[in-house]
Structure 1
């Protein structure tokens, strides 16, 4: 079945969607993106994604081409036209097509390029991986210094995913000066007792929308949240570990660099946190 996608105000069959070869998103990775999950035909934490999108655009001196209400209407239309019950909507905004390749940014008169499409993921919240956990390796974090901006510069994270695949595991955690920064496409956490430990917000990591919700729900459930750096060795000695993202939600991590974390199986706190997150997000979905 051919999907309907959104390109600059038009809803088109994916086979007819086109973007200029001179678009700076294509030539310079000069663009940002958001991925919003859909559960039961409704958008998860949509307002959070709008806020982060606006921030990313502002940090790059790009114009936000739509209001929150217009973003919402477009997302809902894509869900409806593609009959999405469980899945994701990928949204990308680039600086647009200035007419020719140039390192210098074009002026404000250039209209941003907006592209969005759906990905159907039946049973997204019932991922069987959550029952067994994932295994990760650590790799050097050699990305650029503004990881807080959700740009389309994803080559090294993609290479990290492939390093993990080659090692026979599920994902990789980036490490800088001995401390874990984040996963290739997710935020990283360890658990010691009733204490959840995760790196504080800065330009070193993405300001995860799921991260913010998870930490809020954890605090409400009387779990202690400690935002500080943690090392690879500390992670190996943790009781539990997990990642969070818009598509994985809360996912247990049971192995790091071949070392078993805790019992080597999902513990008690992380599965409970996943349960709370999904329950609360379904209630608030729009």
Structure 2
């Protein structure tokens, strides 16, 4: 039976309840993080918590809380091992629906877990390439805040599904920003390129790890603006996220990427990335 954390209590998931007047429910007045734990230890926990604090400061939610202890205990109560923790913090409930922020509100803190797959053991052959569409980025301008107001993301993912695709890349002012639920990369002549971090792009921890592993393994990479023409003419296109790792894109809209096969740079990076993850999961 899954145990979740809610406002100081570790309880069975079906017993966790919040007020219908919680501002996270009414207004998406809340932020979240997704944090991998390998063998019961938070992966890059400091970086995740720094991003959480950045989001909380941006929303002016003030909290003095021992995140690491709570998350570690929650993971232990769910069997430890390799788990992904979803953590959400809302501004709390005012007992009524009101737009104005009451600084006296007590934030709601919720966390739950789900298993992490060992993608390395599954093997590179089982990874299927995907199709993406490109559509307008209609989100607000503070995408660096990991907020739960994800309706634009949900709508473009549905648009992608209706077009027979699995992801949507977002275009704003002629430049691609990121995916609806991912960061993205292109490869040109063996060099990896990805958009630079700013307020219109979320600083993905998987994105950062890919760039770090590229540097460690002598794979050239750059952060630069990418437009639509450059995207469809790239030798390779990938997406990345904490739940999907690195996935090759074989088609963008009606255009085949490269030769339509999983590219050699992606294959090398997939092996490096998943071996790194496998070592964390198994200690081998």
Above 0.5 in TM-score? yes
| 1:23 to 2:18 alignment | no
* Structure 1, 147-156 or 270-279: larger mean CA deviation: 270-279
Q: Normalization by structure 2: what TM-score?
A: 0.91
Mapped contact 1:148–1:204 kept (Cα < 8 A): yes
Matched residue, 1:276: 272
* Structure 1, 127-136 or 98-107: larger mean CA deviation: 127-136
Go from structure 1 to structure 2 and tell me whether the alpha carbon gap of 1:140 and 1:210 turns closer, same or farther (over 3 Å shift): same
Matched residue, 1:50: 49
Matched residue, 1:161: 157
- Distance in 2, Cα, partners of 1:238 & 1:84: 41
Matched residue, 2:4: 5
Mapped contact 2:38–2:280 kept (Cα < 8 A): no
- Distance in 2, Cα, partners of 1:211 & 1:45: 13
Q: Which consecutive unaligned segments of at least 5 residues does structure 2 have?
A: none
Which contiguous aligned blocks of 4+ residues in structure 1 show a shift greater than 3 angstroms? Answer: 38-43, 84-87, 121-130, 278-286
Q: Calculate the aligned-residue CA RMSD, in Å.
A: 2.2
Which residue of 169, 172, 175 corresponds with 2:168? 172
Go from structure 1 to structure 2 and tell me whether the alpha carbon gap of 1:127 and 1:59 turns closer, same or farther (over 3 Å shift): farther
Which residue of 244, 247, 251 corresponds with 2:243? 247
Q: Secondary structure at the match of 2:52?
A: helix
Q: Normalization by structure 1: what TM-score?
A: 0.90
Deviations, residues 52-83 of structure 1 (Å, cap 9, x unaligned): 111111111111341xxx32222222222223
Go from structure 1 to structure 2 and tell me whether the alpha carbon gap of 1:75 and 1:124 turns closer, same or farther (over 3 Å shift): farther
Q: Which consecutive unaligned segments of at least 5 residues does structure 1 have?
A: none
Go from structure 1 to structure 2 and tell me whether the alpha carbon gap of 1:245 and 1:129 turns closer, same or farther (over 3 Å shift): farther
* Structure 1, 41-50 or 113-122: larger mean CA deviation: 41-50
Deviations, residues 141-190 of structure 1 (Å, cap 9, x unaligned): 11111001000001111111111111112111111133211011111111
Q: How many residues align?
A: 281
Matched residue, 2:110: 115
Deviations, residues 226-267 of structure 1 (Å, cap 9, x unaligned): 211111221111111111111112221111102111121211
Mapped contact 2:33–2:86 kept (Cα < 8 A): yes
Q: How does 1:1-286 map to 2 (within 5 A)?
A: 2-66=1-65, 70-83=66-79, 85-107=81-103, 109-123=104-118, 126=122, 131-281=127-277
Go from structure 1 to structure 2 and tell me whether the alpha carbon gap of 1:124 and 1:200 turns closer, same or farther (over 3 Å shift): same
Q: Secondary structure at the match of 1:132?
A: coil
